């Protein structure tokens, strides 16, 4: 007996062809790497009429300098992001997050755009990209738009769109990434991640961005923690100030005491060892 | 139905397949290549591993129609009984096989690694095989076998 119920498969070669198919289809599913979409199809009763593969669209591939920054095509695999020397030099926290996502075969298949569009938060990429100031490029049938990634993620009103790529502005920022896992039936499952970036002016930090992937919901921006780290000389941040700022930032979140403890330890490490 | 052309184990196959057919279904049920196995069907266990354009991937999460123009290698494509691949010899010699269910996936993942990195450290071997689970061996002898094969290749 076949594993998947029938649908009509399409493999367009251009973005406009794909958008046309998406617009015409009754209930269409866009297929990037397939690690999320095909898994979901095996478990759902809401089956698409059409599946549109984005694999053959060259305009969605690649990692290249663009203006004063870097463009990553939405169909670039996570493995290619992890292995890119450009990304390792310019945005080391992104290279680290990509190399620890899933497993080796999953990284060979999963794409950056697919991970963002699926809003599957077991991967830390969205949180790290937000911390680096990423902008996402979205194409609909009659318009294209670029918006900050943190504005795209909670936005559910867009229905028929294709993510074309991510733009990372060049900056002289330091970036850090902390990842925590827990054992779930002999597998290390993602549990919590912290993505931090900043620029320096003498002994002080500026443009601080501190984003948490709780793995439970949308990435969380720690505004009070960011304000604490900004414009304060490193040696003067007290542990209790970090804990107080963290408490304010997370009081409406679902984070348990252990996750808060891990975050606090990561932030103290940043303040006292990494800076 | 869809028509597609895929090179499978070095041979060009012109196939007519269902739109919703998964690569694992095509390999096992149309082509009789039973070394690629069903288990979790969720991309967690790795027994469905094949090489696609040289990289180890999970055939339970790939549509065959999306492989038009690709080069697929299964365990049957890297060695036969009378002429095993050095990896297969090493797995046997080092005792890295017990029930054998995970072995094809492990060997293909190891091949993908050694094709890219002929002299990996043990940590690199473990990372490269992180998508393949084994309930029997405890992995130590599997890593020994891959290290042994890397010296022979």
Pairing verdict, β A69-73 and A187-201: unpaired
The CA–CA distances, whole Å, from A131 to A34, A221, A223 equal 26, 9, 12
CA torsion through residues A116, A122, A123, A128, sign:
positive
pLDDT tens digit sequence for B74-121: 999 998 778 899 999 999 999 999 999 999 999 999 999 999 999 999
- CB–CB contact A34 B62 (8 Å): yes
**Does A218 lie at the interface with B, CB-CB under 8 angstroms?**
no
Q: Record the tokens describing residue B42, joined without a space.
A: 């969720």
- Residues B80, A21: Cα–Cα separation, whole Å: 45
Interface test with B, best of A104, A118, A120, A187 (most B CBs within 10 A): A104
ipTM: 0.96
Percent of chain B with pLDDT over 70: 100
How far apart CA B103 and CA B100 sit, in angstroms, is 5
Region of A207 (left: φ > 0; alpha: ψ -120 to 50; beta: rest) is left
Choose among B18, B65, B66: nearest Cβ to A2: B18
Q: Counting Cβ atoms within 10 Å, is residue A2 exposed (0-12), middle (13-18) or buried (19+)?
A: exposed
- Sort B65 into a burial class: Cβ within 10 Å, 0-12 / 13-18 / 19+: buried
Mean pLDDT over the full length of chain B: 96
CB contact A160 to B (< 8 Å): no
Cα–Cα distance, A39 to A54 (Å, whole number):
17
Picking from B18, B44, B56, the nearest residue to A6 by CB comes out as B18
Q: Is residue B127 pLDDT above 90, yes or no?
A: yes
- Whether chain B has a CB inside 8 Å of the CB on A216: the answer is no
Q: Do A105 and B58 touch (CB under 8 A)?
A: yes
Q: Identify the pLDDT of residue A275.
A: 67
Phi, psi of B24 (to 5 degrees): -60, -35
Q: Does B109 touch chain A (CB under 8 A)?
A: yes
Answer whether A162's CB lies under 8 Å from A114's CB: no
Q: How far apart are CA B153 and CA A140, in angstroms?
A: 50
Q: Is A84 on the interface with B (CB under 8 A)?
A: no
**Predicted confidence (pLDDT) at residue B71 exceeds the cutoff of 70:** yes
* Low-confidence residues in chain A, pLDDT < 50: none
| Consecutive H or E run containing A183 | strand A174-184
Q: Which spans in chain B are helix H?
A: 23-25, 86-93, 103-116, 122-128, 140-152
Give the model's pLDDT for residue A253. Answer: 86
pLDDT given for residue A233 in this prediction: 66
Mutate: best of B30, B41, B53, B63, partner A, most A CBs <10 A: B63
Min Cα–Cα distance to chain A from B115, Å:
15
Check A53 against B41: CB less than 8 A apart.
no
Token match 């617009």: residue? A23
| Residues of chain B neighbouring A189 (CB-CB closer than 8 A) | none
Q: Who among B19, B68, B109 is closest to A8 (CB)?
A: B19
CA–CA separation, B145 and B153 (whole Å): 12
DSSP-derived 3-state class of residue A54: coil
Closest partner CB to A104 (pick from B41, B56, B66): B56
Q: Give me the pLDDT at residue A120, please.
A: 87
Cβ of B131 within 8 Å of Cβ of A104? The answer is yes
- Percent helix, strand, coil in chain B, to 5, is 40, 20, 40
Residue in chain A lying closest to B138 (CA): A186
For residue B114, the distance in angstroms to the closest alpha carbon of chain A comes to 14
Say what the pLDDT of residue A28 is.
92
Min Cα distance A200 → chain B (Å) is 35
Q: Which two tokens stand for residue A138?
A: 């979205």
Predicted TM-score (pTM) of the model is 0.94
Other beta carbons less than 10 A from residue B48's beta carbon: 26
Between CA B32 and CA A161 the distance in angstroms is: 40
Asked if residues A69 and A170 have their Cβ atoms less than 8 Å apart, the reply is yes
The verdict on a CB contact (< 8 Å) between A4 and B49 is no
**pLDDT at residue B32 above 90?**
yes
């Amino acid at each position: 007996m076949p594993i998947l119920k029938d649908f009509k498969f399409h493999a367009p070669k251009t973005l406009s062809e794909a958008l046309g198919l998406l617009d015409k289809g009754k209930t269409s599913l866009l297929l990037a790497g397939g690690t999320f979409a095909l898994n979901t199809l095996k478990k759902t009763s809401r089956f698409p009429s059409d599946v549109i593969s984005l694999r053959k669209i060259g305009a969605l591939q690649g990692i290249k300098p663009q203006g004063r920054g870097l463009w990553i095509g939405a169909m670039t695999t996570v493995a290619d992001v992890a292995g890119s020397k450009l990304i390792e030099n310019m945005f080391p926290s992104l290279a680290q997050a990509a190399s620890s996502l899933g497993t080796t075969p999953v990284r060979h298949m999963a794409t950056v755009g697919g991970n963002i569009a699926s809003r599957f938060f077991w991967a830390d990429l969205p949180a790290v990209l937000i911390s680096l100031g990423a902008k996402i490029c979205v194409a609909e049938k009659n318009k294209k738009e670029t918006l900050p990634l943190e504005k795209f993620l909670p936005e559910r009103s867009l229905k028929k769109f294709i993510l074309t790529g991510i733009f990372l502005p060049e900056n002289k920022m330091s970036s850090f990434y902390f990842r925590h896992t827990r054992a779930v039936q002999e597998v290390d499952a993602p549990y919590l991640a912290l993505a931090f970036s900043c620029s320096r002016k003498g002994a002080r930090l500026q443009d601080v961005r501190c984003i948490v992937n709780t793995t439970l919901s949308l990435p969380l921006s720690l505004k009070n923690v960011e304000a604490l780290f900004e414009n304060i000389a490193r040696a003067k941040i007290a542990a209790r100030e970090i804990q107080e700022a963290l408490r304010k930032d997370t009081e409406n979140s679902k984070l348990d005491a252990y996750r808060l403890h891990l975050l606090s330890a990561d932030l103290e490490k940043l303040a006292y060892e990494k800076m | 139905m869809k028509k597609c052309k895929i090179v499978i184990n070095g041979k060009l196959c012109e196939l007519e397949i269902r739109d919703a057919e998964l690569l694992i279904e095509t390999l096992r049920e149309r082509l009789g290549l039973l070394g690629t196995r069903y288990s979790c069907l969720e991309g967690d266990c790795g027994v469905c591993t094949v090489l696609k354009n040289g990289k180890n991937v999970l055939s339970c999460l790939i549509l065959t129609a999306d492989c038009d123009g690709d080069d697929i290698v299964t365990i049957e494509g890297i060695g036969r009984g009378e002429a095993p691949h050095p990896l297969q010899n090493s797995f046997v010699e080092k005792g890295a096989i017990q029930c054998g269910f995970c072995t094809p996936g492990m060997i293909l993942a190891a091949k993908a690694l050694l094709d890219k990195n002929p002299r990996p450290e043990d940590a690199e071997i473990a990372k490269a095989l992180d998508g393949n689970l084994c309930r029997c061996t405890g992995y130590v002898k599997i890593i020994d076998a891959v290290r042994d094969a890397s010296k022979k290749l």
